[in-house]
Amino acid sequence: MKQDNWIAPSILAADFARLGEEVEAVLTAGADLIHFDVMDNHYVPNLTIGPMVCRALRNYGVEAAIDVHLMVEPVDRLIGDFIEAGASYITFHPEASKHVDRSLEMIRSAGLKAGLVLNPATSIHCLDHVLDKLDMILVMSINPGFGGQTFIDSTHAKIQSIRRLIDASGHSIRLEVDGGVKTDNIGAIGASGADTFVAGSAIYGSANYQETIAAMRRALEVG
Ligand code: DX5
Ligand code: ZN
């Protein structure tokens, strides 16, 4: 059973020189949570922002959930730092942690929500033995590292399989999709079973954040 649809603007596409205002603007425009992409120039070929920026957003007054997507290797040290920095969700790529179960436990034992991220070529079998430790599964519909890429269509089949897995498990796990999500494909992505939608360039690249988020919600209702 799908949960309510959440829209998660990715600040990777925001104007970093005005980050506090940019985060406030999408929240006022109707966003549900803030997607925070952490890249280390090692696990992925790009370098972005770290825990100090997360802490700065909290100090600025951001109260909404911050959804930290770790594209770093190794992950455990940064999990601790992001717990301190006020993250709400922390998701990481299983390939980047030597001890996936332990990393999930670190996040959850601090009272945060934990999730695993599956790259386009990552099998869903990595979820088999940790489903009871997950609050979120993030399906990459692009190869991680950059915004503005095109949605990979084979992701639909994967979302459908994971939706069946979640429903059969009886656990409450959000199913998030990241990469190339736009107003014209979000309906189909929701119909496949996703309930949480990351959108960077589609929202921050648009002239009116509120209209874009509203258009996304309308498309999700139609399917
Ligand atoms: C890429 C990031 C995404 C990125 C998506 O590795 O994980 O969150 O911001 O950007 P768009 O929505 O532009 O594809
Ligand atoms: Zn992301």
CATH number for position 130: 3.20.20.70
- Token pair for 191: 């119909």
Atom of ligand 1 nearest to the CA of 46: 6
Q: Is the pLDDT of residue 107 over 90?
A: yes
Write out the H or E segment, with its range, that includes residue 156: helix 155-169
Atom of ligand 1 nearest to the CA of 35: 8
**Residue found by looking up tokens 């696990």 in the block:** 43
Which pTM value belongs to this model? 0.98
- Give the closest residue (by CA) to ligand 1 atom 10: 147
Would you state the torsion angle of the CA atoms of residues 98, 100, 101, 107, taken in this order, to the nearest 10 degrees?
Answer: 110
135 lies in some domain: yes
1 lies in some domain: no
Q: Is 161 near ligand 1, meaning CB less than 6 Å away?
A: no
* Spacing, Cα 148 to ligand 1 middle (Å): 7
> Minimal CA–CA distance to 140: which of 15, 112, 124?
124
Identify the band that residue 223 occupies on the pLDDT scale cut at 50, 70 and 90.
Answer: confident
82 lies in some domain: yes
Give the percent of the chain with pLDDT over 90: 98
* Spacing, Cα 164 to ligand 2 middle (Å): 23
Q: Is 145 near ligand 1, meaning CB less than 6 Å away?
A: yes
pLDDT of residue 212: 98
Q: Is the pLDDT of residue 3 over 80?
A: no
pLDDT tens digits for 34-63? 999 999 999 999 999 999 999 999 999 999
Mean pLDDT over each residue of the chain, to the nearest integer? 98
10 lies in some domain: yes
39 lies in some domain: yes
* Spacing, Cα 37 to ligand 1 middle (Å): 8
Atom of ligand 1 nearest to the CA of 203: 12
Q: Is the pLDDT of residue 1 over 90?
A: no
| Total domains present in the chain | 1
pLDDT of residue 151: 98
Q: Choose one of 16, 119, 149 to mutate for the ligand 1 pocket test, by most ligand atoms within 8 angstroms of C-beta.
A: 149
Q: Is 9 near ligand 1, meaning CB less than 6 Å away?
A: no
Q: Is 203 near ligand 1, meaning CB less than 6 Å away?
A: no
216 lies in some domain: yes
Give the percent of the chain with pLDDT over 70: 100
Segments forming the whole domain that contains residue 57: 6-222
Q: Is the pLDDT of residue 2 over 80?
A: no
Contacts of 123 (CB under 8 A, 6+ apart): none
98 lies in some domain: yes
> Minimal CA–CA distance to 193: which of 30, 3, 9?
3
pLDDT tens digits for 206-215? 999 999 999 9
